[in-house]
């Protein structure tokens, strides 16, 4: 039996969690655990709630630890029980993983020092604040640590991890079952594809202030 523990916090980006969960829950003999501060529903960035299945106090030992991201990461960085839970679970996990800005929670728990890692493109310049070396890729593996880029990269990371755990054939069967065959209507899913002007506009409108808040939260814990 493989216990896959997802860490939730208020303001989590739901696809950071649900994308990998959809894939990893199909891993043979998988048991997903959704851990949070309490069993109260956790509000996502989409305006709906997810109900945890365990608390930080009673969650079982994780074989695979997955930490999603979201704007709520800045608050979670200052919540000692969340960071302590991540560190405690990571000490025994086979795989330590994150999606998007969840990388900074791994970093705050001391799990990215000297490691190659990735995160959402708008926050990648902050990875050195947690001792990580940024590698520009959707999925970055360094030992038993796997970090994924922004949001949808979590599906790619999960399939990568399934292949590591159960083999490529199983991963490809899951991919087929989910009909994960991306063919987006627009070619604007990365800064390189979107172009400098569009990237600048999105950064200024959405991410510059958010990245500044993240930087402040990271520096406050140093």
Residues belonging to the active site = 100
**How far, rounded to the nearest angstrom, does the alpha carbon of residue 201 sit from its chain's CA centroid?**
25
Q: How many CB atoms lie within 10 A of CB 108?
A: 25
3-state secondary structure of 139: strand
CB 155 within 8 A of CB 180: yes
Dihedral, CA of residue 52, residue 15, residue 100 and residue 35, to nearest 10 = 10
Q: Are the C-beta atoms of residues 34 and 53 closer than 8 Å to each other?
A: yes
Strands (E), 119-169: 133-134, 139-142, 145-148
CB atoms within 10 A of CB 168: 11
H or E element that contains 6 = strand 2-7
Asked if 119 contacts 149 with a C-beta cutoff of 8 angstroms, the reply is yes
99 sits in which H/E element = strand 95-99
Cβ neighbours around 79 below 10 Å, total:
17
Q: Are strands 139-142 and 42-43 parallel, antiparallel or unpaired?
A: unpaired
């Amino acid at each position: 039996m493989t216990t896959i523990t997802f860490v939730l916090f208020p303001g989590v980006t739901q696809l950071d969690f649900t994308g990998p969960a959809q894939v990893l829950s199909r891993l043979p003999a998988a048991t997903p655990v959704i851990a949070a501060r309490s069993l109260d529903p956790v509000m996502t960035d989409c305006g709906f709630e997810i109900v945890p299945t365990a608390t930080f106090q009673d969650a079982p030992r994780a074989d695979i630890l997955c930490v999603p991201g979201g704007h709520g990461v800045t608050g979670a960085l200052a919540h000692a029980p969340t960071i302590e839970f991540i560190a405690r679970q990571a000490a025994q996990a086979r795989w330590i993983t994150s999606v998007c800005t969840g990388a900074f929670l791994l970093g705050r728990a001391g799990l990215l020092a000297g490691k190659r890692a990735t995160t959402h493109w708008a926050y990648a310049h902050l990875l050195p604040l947690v001792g990580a070396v940024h590698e520009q890729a959707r999925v970055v593996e360094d030992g038993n640590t796997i970090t994924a880029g922004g949001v949808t990269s979590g599906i790619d990371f999960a399939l990568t991890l399934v292949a590591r755990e159960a083999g490529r054939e199983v991963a490809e069967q899951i991919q087929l079952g989910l009909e994960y065959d991306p063919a987006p209507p627009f070619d604007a899913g990365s800064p390189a594809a979107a172009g400098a002007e569009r990237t600048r506009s999105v950064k200024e409108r959405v991410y510059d202030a958010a990245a500044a808040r993240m930087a402040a939260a990271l520096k406050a814990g140093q």
